[in-house]
Structure 1
Amino acid sequence: MRRSIATVSLSGTLPEKLEAIAAARFDGVEIFEPDLTGFPGRPRDIRDMAADLGLTIELFQPFRNAEGVDRAGFDRVLRRLDRKLDLMEELGAPLMLVCSNVEPYAINDDGLAAEQLWAMAERAGARGLRLGYEALAWGTHVSTFDHAWRIVERADHPHLGLILDSFHTLALPHDWSGIADLPGERIFFVQLADAPRLDMATLMLSRHHRCLPGQGERDVGAFTDAVLRAGYTGPLSLEIFNDSLRSAPTRQTAKDAMRSLLHVEERARRLEEARRADAASHRPAPRRVELFDPPAPARLDGVAFVEFAVNHATQAALAADLLRLGFHRLGRHRSKDVDLYGMGDIRFVLNAEAHSTAHSYYLLHGASVCAIAYEVDDPLRAVGRAEAFGCHRFEGRVGPNELSLPGIRTVGGELVYFTRRRADGSIDFETDFRLETGDALPTPTAHRIDHIAQVLPEGALDSAVLFHRTVLDMEPEPVVTLADPFGLVRSRAISDHRRRVRFPLNIASGRNTGAARSVSTYLGAGVHHIALETADLFAAAERLRANGVEILAIPANYYDDLAARFDLDDDLLATMARLNILYDRQGDGEFFQLYTQPFQGRFFFELVERRGGYDQYGAANAPIRMAASSQPGTFDTLVG
């Protein structure tokens, strides 16, 4: 499958965009007219530059308000068209996108539109060029793909075809199942974009909030599958209008864009394979193009361990805090200055090794989480998939007879490892530790990691969502906007389908929020807090109090409000207030949570208890938690 992207999708000058597109290994490019008009050279210079980079120019766009006009207006259209055809010849672009008319004066006459598009295609064909007609979702009279196709079919010119755009198709409440029945050879080009579900005009959504497929909430994979079933064999091209991407680093956007396009191809492949497996009720057409086929996702069974970068002083201080929480020192690394702590299925690694990746991380960020390891069914397959999606493999220093743990670096540079559980119940990485033996451990305060909340730099949320979705096969949840005392926080959780691994991802709007200050502290993305699941939060809270663990204090007014909103027993409310436990309810499910004070102002722990199938993160409590933690001597918390 040929892969392309529109220059409007990236920031920078046109040469910078082309270089980034080529570096991300795209095959072709759409030249957006404003990028060309702002270029100081000639169109032939762009043609030569693209060729030197190994890129083909697939499309020039857009040509607007060309059909459904009166005779005088169409004479002006033809004069304008001739100049653009001259430009296309010099640029080396074989195809031009013609948008459906959006002006209020447009004439509602399909016959007239077909006649005028035929005349335009005749002029283009005389030069060996083609035109593609696209229905804009806000077109005055033509706003759907099937209406555009009826006009193209009526015009019946070999140099006029249809251009399909997933945004314009999926943004409307319109049946698009007929795409699969279109003649593939008459589909000249396909553009892809995703978008969130926001309550705003389609034009505003299109111009400012499109996103890469996999970052939004539209089924771009199913759209692509329908296009391929129609027999389309041309390029798949990304066209993203997005305010954040207009200021994002050009090369990172291009890398994310390629990862996004590969995600779409994999999704289309899965749908095709599902049809072939159900051949008794479907008759799939033979595939005409080769689609991206990465290793299948590894099964996520949980978080195997969280690694903290520390020095000797913070190692001792954090170890003391962990012991008060109910953790136990399980062992010492065979060759490194690294300790292992555990409780139930939870494993924390405290890495104070000098001249290591963790040490470098500590110098930049202070005591903080530097790596996360996933328990998977096949670590090597997990790494292979990550590499197929453009991630870089990481291999740390390994001592004699020690395990080489497969790992990668994420988009933000953090480390991710993959390990597996053995038949005896142990996890691979534990073989590198001299495990301590002794008395049987008491009943743990908590038994597993429920979720890990991360804070991201502004503009990094969509990129992080795309990484987790493509590499780890996780699915995002809707965006939640939370009120911090000093601004707003956008949070979007992402998890695997079994809910074994969950990450609420948070980003701040405004420099004074706790999230923004946390990013400044971390100098980048970082784990903000780790939620530990317990079977009895009330018993756990009593144990923490007895051990001297400092808990985030919740105002008494919160519990008065709980009494008004929920039918809770007075004694239960009094106990919750005494223990600073927060509460949420979803249907028959209940959620109890409490927070520790932060470790050296950097990260903290949450203990949670889920009852009755509760499946969220207590977002309703977030404003209270953030207000409580913004008091002097505390630290701002985020959703999750």
Structure 2
Amino acid sequence: KRGIRIGYEALAWGRHVSDHRDAWEIVRRADHPSVGLILDSFHTLAAGVDPEPIRAIPGDRIFHVQFSDAPMIGMDVQYLSRHFRCMPGEGDLPVLDFARAVMATGYAGAMSIEIMTDQFRGGVPRIIAADGHRSLIYLMDQVRRAEPDRRTDLPVLPPRSRAEGIEFVEFTANPAEAETLGAMLHELGFSRTGQHVSKQVSLWQQGDIKLVINCEQEGFAHSAYVMHGTSVCDIGLMVGDAAATVERAQALGANVFRQSHGAEEFDIPAVRGVGGSVLHFLDRTSELAEVWSREFKATAGRVGGAGLTRIDHIAQTMNYDEMLTWTLFYQSIFDVDRTPIVDVADPGGLVHSRAIQSPDGKLRITMNGVETHRTFAGRFMADSFGSSVQHIAFATDDIVATSERLAQSGFKALPISENYYLDLVTRFDLDDAFVAVLRSHNLLYDEDRSGAYLQLYSPPYGEGFFFEIIERRGAYAGYGAANASYRTAAQKRLTRPDGVPRR
């Protein structure tokens, strides 16, 4: 009479009805047009219920659908619900299978998100809303690609972008600090190979690595310098289609970045990234492939080098509360997978770390979530006022040879304590001669069934930025997490003591 409808939902911890199949049977037997079913992905999937039978339910008998995700943690389902329910795509539940089954019913009603995490309760509403919007669009885009015959009220999006790697990293600095940074790069074997045709921007190269130092006194880079000091302000990714990548990113709620540029400069597609930084997209199929030859004048040829071949990964530091946001950002735009979160011990507390990486390993980004400024990563965040990239890892095919060449150029490695090597021989079956080589070069070592990983670090620079040099052997795909506590302890010995002012 008044158009009121009643939706019946089964809660996973319900005493009498805890399964959507039983809830549907109750609705079916009621046989009333104003009584329908409410489905919630969490209550189905967290209880281990197969979502496939949902396909047999008539779409008009489903009155509302709620989506949420959660990590696969062995605990009481009600506690999991109250503290860990996150956006679709941020957890480990098969939410896509659930969504495909729902859309197969012909359901055309409203969809909502029901989330309950400790981080979201104290989060910024605007950011939470943007995450929810992104997660639903990403989910429905996946449904349409998996079920092309199903109707979804969503514009057609370009597919997730396949990144071919990190094309460049740009630093912002004032002229004096640029000289210091340039000297560090020279010690690492880089050559200053180009100067921008109209700006105070220099290009440094080694192998396939391109680093840019921007000393402009206006524009975005200068604003980033005023905010963060000498820091990474821009990351360039090589993708298959730059225009399509920014189109997808914009549809998923990313903020497109634009600034004025000279007649001789390219308008490179870009969006805002972690910590207010910029992500630029280049490709090899448009004129963007000519950016280096047309925007930079050659200043000198490459000399020597230290055997560095490419950027293996970059490490971004952020507040722990932001990790799910940026995980979803990367995973919805790019064809990447995420690793589980691991806790890294630091003398000042724990740092939560996870990696985003493409299937072929050409793009790797590690994200370190901090909860306290007392950790090495947390202090970097505090002292640089939120700068994101804390370190860049360069790959080499022979880390011992690289270390020897670096020493000849004046590079001084981060000194690693003797107790690390005493511990190393208890963890791995390594011969004494090999351990002696590691010790003499301050190298760290890790291995698993697929291969091995060797690491060499620079001392911390400025507010805690540093470089890493790595060698991957075999199919090792990790990041040496077991070594992180030794590395951070060594770095903290060289940084400003707690309580001492920066200047």
Give the 5 Å matches for 1:582-597: 582-597=444-459
Q: CA deviation at 1:427?
A: 5.3
Q: Which amino acid aligns with 1:391?
A: A
Match of 2:60 among 166, 185, 197: 185
Match of 2:234 among 368, 371, 374: 371
Q: Is the 8 A contact 2:306 2:405 kept in 1?
A: no
Q: 1:423 to 1:445 in 2, by over 3 A?
A: farther
1:523 is aligned to 2:398: no
1:461 is aligned to 2:323: yes
Match of 2:189 among 326, 332, 336: 326
Q: 1:348 to 1:635 in 2, by over 3 A?
A: farther
Q: CA deviation at 1:423?
A: 9.9
Partner Cα separation in structure 2 for residue 501 and residue 490 of structure 1: 20
Q: Which amino acid aligns with 1:151?
A: I
Q: Which amino acid aligns with 1:140?
A: R
Match of 2:15 in 1: 140
1:315 is aligned to 2:178: yes
Match of 1:282 in 2: none
Partner Cα separation in structure 2 for residue 334 and residue 237 of structure 1: 51
Match of 1:513 in 2: 375
1:381 is aligned to 2:247: no
Runs of 4+ aligned residues of structure 1 deviating over 6 Å after TM superposition are 422-426
Q: CA deviation at 1:339?
A: 0.2
Q: 1:270 to 1:227 in 2, by over 3 A?
A: same
Q: Which amino acid aligns with 1:222?
A: D
Give the 5 Å matches for 1:198-217: 198-217=73-92
Q: Is the 8 A contact 2:51 2:97 kept in 1?
A: no
Q: Is the 8 A contact 2:282 2:289 kept in 1?
A: no
Q: CA RMSD in A?
A: 2.0
* 1:316 partner SS: helix
Match of 1:340 among 171, 194, 203: 203
Match of 2:282 among 419, 425, 429: 419
Match of 2:133 in 1: 258
Match of 2:98 in 1: 223
Q: 1:321 to 1:443 in 2, by over 3 A?
A: closer
Match of 1:540 among 402, 407, 412: 402
Match of 2:357 in 1: 495
Q: Is the 8 A contact 2:87 2:135 kept in 1?
A: yes
Moved more, 596-605 or 567-576: 596-605
Match of 2:501 in 1: none
- Residues 325-372 of structure 1, C-alpha deviation per residue, up to 9 Å, x if partnerless? 011111000000000001111000000011121111111111000010
Q: CA deviation at 1:150?
A: 1.7
Moved more, 442-451 or 569-578: 442-451
Q: 1:222 to 1:411 in 2, by over 3 A?
A: farther
Q: CA deviation at 1:167?
A: 0.8
Q: CA deviation at 1:430?
A: 4.3
1:406 is aligned to 2:248: no
- Residues 191-221 of structure 1, C-alpha deviation per residue, up to 9 Å, x if partnerless? 0001112222111111111111121122222
Match of 1:81 in 2: none
Q: CA deviation at 1:403?
A: 1.7
1:428 is aligned to 2:291: yes
Match of 1:92 in 2: none
Partner Cα separation in structure 1 for residue 13 and residue 290 of structure 2: 56
1:581 is aligned to 2:417: no
Q: Is the 8 A contact 1:551 1:580 kept in 2?
A: yes
Q: 1:332 to 1:375 in 2, by over 3 A?
A: same
Partner Cα separation in structure 2 for residue 422 and residue 265 of structure 1: 29
Q: 1:484 to 1:532 in 2, by over 3 A?
A: same
* 1:611 partner SS: strand
Q: CA deviation at 1:378?
A: 1.3
TM-score by length of 1: 0.75
Match of 1:623 among 469, 478, 485: 485
Partner Cα separation in structure 2 for residue 231 and residue 425 of structure 1: 44
Partner Cα separation in structure 1 for residue 256 and residue 292 of structure 2: 18
* 2:321 partner SS: coil
- Residues 122-143 of structure 1, C-alpha deviation per residue, up to 9 Å, x if partnerless? xxxx542111111111111321
Match of 2:118 among 243, 246, 250: 243
Q: CA deviation at 1:152?
A: 1.7
**Identity fraction in percent:** 44
Q: CA deviation at 1:431?
A: 2.2
* 2:267 partner SS: coil
1:129 is aligned to 2:4: yes
* 1:301 partner SS: strand
Q: Is the 8 A contact 2:345 2:485 kept in 1?
A: yes
- Residues 545-584 of structure 1, C-alpha deviation per residue, up to 9 Å, x if partnerless? 2222121111111111111221111111011011111111
Partner Cα separation in structure 2 for residue 519 and residue 136 of structure 1: 41
Q: Which amino acid aligns with 1:354?
A: Q
Q: Is the 8 A contact 1:420 1:428 kept in 2?
A: no
Q: CA deviation at 1:222?
A: 2.1
Partner Cα separation in structure 2 for residue 399 and residue 289 of structure 1: 42
Give the 5 Å matches for 1:7-156: 126-156=1-31
* 1:450 partner SS: strand
Match of 1:396 in 2: 259
Partner Cα separation in structure 2 for residue 255 and residue 422 of structure 1: 32
Flag the structure with larger Rg. Answer: 1
Partner Cα separation in structure 2 for residue 634 and residue 569 of structure 1: 37
Moved more, 488-497 or 468-477: 468-477
Match of 2:154 among 291, 300, 306: 291
Partner Cα separation in structure 2 for residue 300 and residue 268 of structure 1: 22
Q: CA deviation at 1:528?
A: 0.8
Q: CA deviation at 1:179?
A: 1.3
Match of 2:42 in 1: 167
Q: Is the 8 A contact 2:40 2:67 kept in 1?
A: yes
Match of 2:423 among 538, 558, 561: 561
1:552 is aligned to 2:427: no
Partner Cα separation in structure 1 for residue 5 and residue 427 of structure 2: 64
Partner Cα separation in structure 2 for residue 252 and residue 411 of structure 1: 13
Q: 1:623 to 1:512 in 2, by over 3 A?
A: same
Q: CA deviation at 1:429?
A: 4.1
Q: Is the 8 A contact 2:242 2:281 kept in 1?
A: yes
Partner Cα separation in structure 2 for residue 581 and residue 513 of structure 1: 22
TM-score by length of 2: 0.95
Q: Which amino acid aligns with 2:471?
A: E
Q: 1:598 to 1:324 in 2, by over 3 A?
A: same
Q: Which structure is higher in RCO with an 8 Å CA cutoff and minimum separation 6?
A: 2
Partner Cα separation in structure 2 for residue 431 and residue 298 of structure 1: 26
Q: 1:586 to 1:433 in 2, by over 3 A?
A: same
Match of 2:304 among 442, 456, 461: 442
Q: Which amino acid aligns with 1:510?
A: T
* 2:236 partner SS: strand
- Residues 479-530 of structure 1, C-alpha deviation per residue, up to 9 Å, x if partnerless? 1111111111111111222221111111123331112211111212410100
Q: Which amino acid aligns with 2:381?
A: V
* 1:140 partner SS: coil
Q: Is the 8 A contact 1:601 1:635 kept in 2?
A: no
1:572 is aligned to 2:437: no
Partner Cα separation in structure 1 for residue 151 and residue 86 of structure 2: 28
Partner Cα separation in structure 2 for residue 253 and residue 512 of structure 1: 27
Q: Is the 8 A contact 1:211 1:240 kept in 2?
A: yes
Any gaps of 5 or more consecutive residues in structure 1?
A: 1-125, 274-285
